[in-house]
Amino acid sequence: MQMTFRWYGDSDPVKLWQIRQIPGVTGIVSAIYDVPVGEEWPLERIMHLKKTVEEAGLALSVIESVPVHEHIKLGLPDRDRLIDNYGRTLRNLGQAGIGIVCYNFMPVFDWTRSQLDYELEDGSNALIYEEEVVQRMNPLSGELQLPGWDSSYRKEDLQLLFEQYASVGEQKLWDNLSYFVKAIMPIAEEAGVRMAIHPDDPPWPIFGLPRIITDGAALERFIRLYDKPVNGLCLCSGSLGANPDNDIPALIRRFGAESRVNFVHARNIKHTGERSFQESAHLSSAGSLDMAEIVRALRDIGYTGPIRPDHGRMIWGETGKPGYGLYDRALGAVYLNGMWEAIGKERSASAK
């Protein structure tokens, strides 16, 4: 596998030279953040990002994300124009030699948490999700500030989106996803770009909005929409793992057998209720997920693609974007690489 690290560009407090010094990290996961959603990413902007990363001694391994416009998710009349722009972006990324794009199909809200600075027992701060807190929130109040979603929406924009989504249930959202996938995947395949859909986070509906990429059955249904490896998954352990019924190692083995795991987010979480959880340190004993077994499953499928340590705690007094500090994610990267090496050597020794 290739160890990568998320970087938010020149404005990121975490610098490329710092990432370069994390043992075993060779790739960067990034994006162009100032092109309006739905517009084509210019090739020269992509090449500039790639050059910046490569000059720091790293590779631009994954684009996360090329956002999908809400009108595509809603199936509105202008979706064909927006899908055409999306396809042009994929062709430009392919021309630049970038082979993996991560994206999601979550209506309105991206990954969502109820608190971004919850203090854990060790004094570190972490992102948490408490279902009862979220249920009391009013997304149309004009005062909603949720970690993990685009807060650029004005109150009137949100009101319109909720009115438009009132007629979009799970089946309609599946239909709109199918339309997008069937239009985009041939372009991605031609461009040499593998697509990786990120599961919904958390993997259940919020604020009355449908969410459909939530479990093994949904992942199976998704890959059959376009039954080729280009139409693959970002296997996010923390997102899927928020539902205790999702067996992450089993999902890796199941979809890895068909070469559909195109990208991996490795993150641990601690279940605190039926639909509540805290983000934790990566190691197995810190949370509810067996990270060692997750890495073992990746070894079992012969995974050679990119993986990144996902959200980390804020430790050692670090400030910045919650979940995306340097220190805890760096510890996560080293931890994951250590397990990968140990399992590999264990198997080499047993084969002698």
Q: List the catalytic residues.
A: 198, 236, 265, 310-311, 324
Non-local (6+) Cβ contacts of 95 within 8 A are 43, 191
59-64 and 269-273: which strand pairing?
A: unpaired
Q: Which long-range contacts (CB under 8 A, 24 or more apart) does 39-45 make?
A: 39/85, 40/85, 40/88, 40/89, 40/92, 41/66, 41/89, 41/92, 41/93, 42/92, 43/92, 43/95, 43/96
345/337 Cα distance (integer angstroms) = 12
Cβ atoms 213, 121 nearer than 8 A = no
Output the six-digit token pair for 281: 């340190």
- Contact between 30 and 6 under an 8 Å Cβ cutoff? The reply is yes
> E strands along the chain, which residues?
2-6, 25-30, 59-64, 100-103, 115-119, 125-129, 194-197, 231-236, 261-266, 269-273, 276-279, 306-309
216 phi/psi in degrees, rounded to 5:
-60, -40
Half-sphere exposure of 209 (CA within 13 A, CB side): 27
**Cβ neighbours around 35 below 10 Å, total:** 16
